Amino acid sequence: MTPHCRAEKLKTTMYNVQCTMYNKRQKPHSGVIPHLMRDPFYKNTSNFSPAVSEVFFSYQGEGIYAGIPQIFVRFEGCNLRCNYCDTPKALTVKQNAKYFTAQALSEYIFDIYEKYENNFFGFKPSVSFTGGEPLLYADFIKELITKYIKNKFSVYMETNGTLPEEIKKVYKYCDVVAMDIKFKSACRKDLFKHHKEFLKVCKNKAFIKTVITKDTKKEEFVKAVKLVSEISKKIKFVIQPSDFEEKINKKVFEFYSVAADKLDDVRILPQLHKLWKIA
């Protein structure tokens, strides 16, 4: 998943004691989550507790909610390897990863909110689960929401949209599902079958994001538009350029016309952190 323009990154030190105690009961992973990386469409996540890369306050940098204040929880581990990924540090679970209990992570979230409460300016406090791929830990996220943060924070789920069985576990607790459609030209896998099943589950809360690179093929973009339009023409559809190269810009404008002909709400939106020059 892509990074967010951050005002300040907070290190996960406040709960080191709790995490260390918990880690003693965890067998450390050697770079990847066993079996998940070999099988992107695995069935069971219940045996895994989340490795968290960072938790911080910032402003959403992508999609139709760009600019709103949020607390971000970035999980480690991803089931894809997209060539434009700009959070490579979150692709695998590190040897020194921090593992959180649901209670410890909820306390961390509340502490960050108290520190930045005045930055929300009337917005309902929002937590963005990102990664990596947060739905690798769907069971944990369900526990975190239902036991600790439900009704206190709105929940924004950022996902690559390839794990339909996992979104079923948490969909009812999400306020927004920011779903990517991934192209084979970038991820080396044909994922449309999984995207279709995923979007059927969360169509009433989802918006779609497509990242356009110099390698994106028109036929795969057309296929993405068709997939979305057949489920609902009302689903908001974001075209996000991976860069500001002339070749990509030309492609983005051409693709906009293709999508706008089939869908009700299509937008070209770059990543704000690149404009703000925040990594």
In a domain, 243, yes or no: yes
The enclosing domain of 240 has a CATH number of: 3.20.20.70
Residue 143 pLDDT > 90, yes or no?
Answer: yes
| Peptide bond before residue 132 is cis, with ω within 30 degrees of 0 | yes
Please state the three-class secondary structure of 180-201 as a single string. ECCCHHHHCCCCHHHHHHHHHH
Residue 147 pLDDT > 60, yes or no?
Answer: yes
Can you spell out the DSSP letters for 201-259? Answer: HHTTTEEEEEEE-TT--HHHHHHHHHHHHHH-TTS-EEEEESS--HHHHHHHHHHHHHH
R_g (Cα) of the chain, nearest Å: 18
CB-count burial class (<10 Å; 0-12, 13-18, 19+) for 247: exposed
Q: What is the DSSP letter of 24?
A: T
Rounded Cα gap, residues 239 and 241, in angstroms? 7
Q: What is the pLDDT of residue 164?
A: 98
In the block, residue with structure tokens 């005002």 = 7
Residue 28 pLDDT > 60, yes or no?
Answer: no
In a domain, 217, yes or no: yes
Q: What's the domain count of the chain?
A: 1
Local confidence band at 250 (pLDDT 50, 70, 90 cut-offs)? very high
Rounded Cα gap, residues 186 and 55, in angstroms? 28
Instruction: Of 43-47, 64-68, 129-133, 153-157, give the lowest mean pLDDT range.
Output: 43-47
Full domain range(s) for residue 224: 6-276
% of the chain exceeding 70 in pLDDT = 82
pLDDT tens column, 162-182: 999 999 999 999 999 999 999
In a domain, 1, yes or no: no
Buried b (16+ CB within 10 A) or exposed e, 44-81: ebeebbbbbbbbbbbbbbbbbbbebbbbbbbbbbbbbe
Virtual torsion, Cα 243, 74, 204, 222, nearest 10 deg = 30
In a domain, 183, yes or no: yes
In sign, the C-alpha dihedral spanning 64, 157, 86, 213 is negative
The phi-psi region of residue 75 (left if phi > 0; otherwise alpha if psi is between -120 and 50; otherwise beta) is beta
In a domain, 269, yes or no: yes
In a domain, 15, yes or no: yes
Q: What is the pLDDT of residue 39?
A: 38
Q: What is the pLDDT of residue 278?
A: 63
Instruction: Of 39-53, 70-84, 243-257, give the lowest mean pLDDT range.
Output: 39-53
Please give the helix or strand (H or E) that residue 20 lies within, else none. helix 16-23
